[in-house]
Amino acid sequence: MESVRGVVNRRVLSISLGIFLGTVSLAADFSEQKGAGYFEGALRYVVSRYSIRSGKALERTQTNVLATKDRLSIPSLDANEVFANNAPPGVSSALFRHDKGDFILYGDDIDAYRFRGYDQVLLGMAFRALALSGAPVDLTGPEESGPYLLRGFRTYLKRYRGEMDLRYDMYFTSDYRVNWGALSESWLFGNGGLRVPKLTAILERGEVPVRIEAFRGSKKLLSMNLMMADEFTVGKELVAIPPQKILHSSTSLLTQLAKEAAGFGGEE
């Protein structure tokens, strides 16, 4: 007859071996960046908006982000959503040029708007005033936990809370590194813009959002999910200003936008 100590030792060994094998199996399933340095290729996201009453998805859209070490392009941008229905006319794409220290908003017509230096500060102030269509501008947190396996990505949860019983769950992976450029600077998620603690540092490290969900109470409002990180050499023309565009300074446009957002401009 086996002793009690023998039974305990065997069970401890079995549990330890099971945990070890489970960890190895789980780690083998993680998706990791293959190339060194910054990621180059496409990040494919699906954005879903939900009905507060039914909880069902009202619409789903796919958004691709093309990334190189020097540039970032979002060919299909819901600019009116970002600008709370006050987007510059015709804007549907964004190009972040880290090597030029600016970013460009443009659409199908010949006009393109260039943001750099003080223009970015004004944009952060405008975002703060517009409050992204009514969402809180100052969040608390993050409450951190993980790791979690989401669609093959190893992620860590950063949970933020805001007014009106709003909660934002942001899952990031550090197994990929994207140069977010201007998106990681403090004009957007710092003192001048939307105050989201530690988010600037997360983006500066190059971490990639895998899932972002917004809730009011127990009701989901929005989700953004990374479906694929496809590594390939991105052609220069895919992260360049389309030919024959006319670049306009965005200062006057943003000054007017900030005034309207603050309630100082526009007609009654």
Regions of the chain with pLDDT less than 70: 1-28, 78-90, 130-136, 191-192, 252-253, 255-268
Q: Supply φ then ψ for residue 133, to 5 degrees.
A: 60, 35
Question: What is residue 9's predicted lDDT score, i.e. its pLDDT?
Answer: 47
Predicted structure pTM score: 0.81
Question: What is residue 262's predicted lDDT score, i.e. its pLDDT?
Answer: 59
Q: What is the largest CA-CA distance in the chain?
A: 91
E strand spans, 131-245:
140-150, 153-161, 166-173, 208-216, 219-231
Question: What is residue 254's predicted lDDT score, i.e. its pLDDT?
Answer: 73
Question: What is residue 88's predicted lDDT score, i.e. its pLDDT?
Answer: 58
Q: Supply φ then ψ for residue 115, to 5 degrees.
A: -115, 125
Residues 216 and 168 sit within 8 Å (Cβ to Cβ): no
Question: What is residue 130's predicted lDDT score, i.e. its pLDDT?
Answer: 65
CATH topology of domain 44-262: outer membrane lipoprotein receptor (LolB), chain A (2.50.20)
Question: What is residue 52's predicted lDDT score, i.e. its pLDDT?
Answer: 82
Q: Determine the 3-state secondary structure of 6 from DSSP.
A: helix
Question: What is residue 193's predicted lDDT score, i.e. its pLDDT?
Answer: 73
What's the gap between Cα 110 and its chain centre? 28
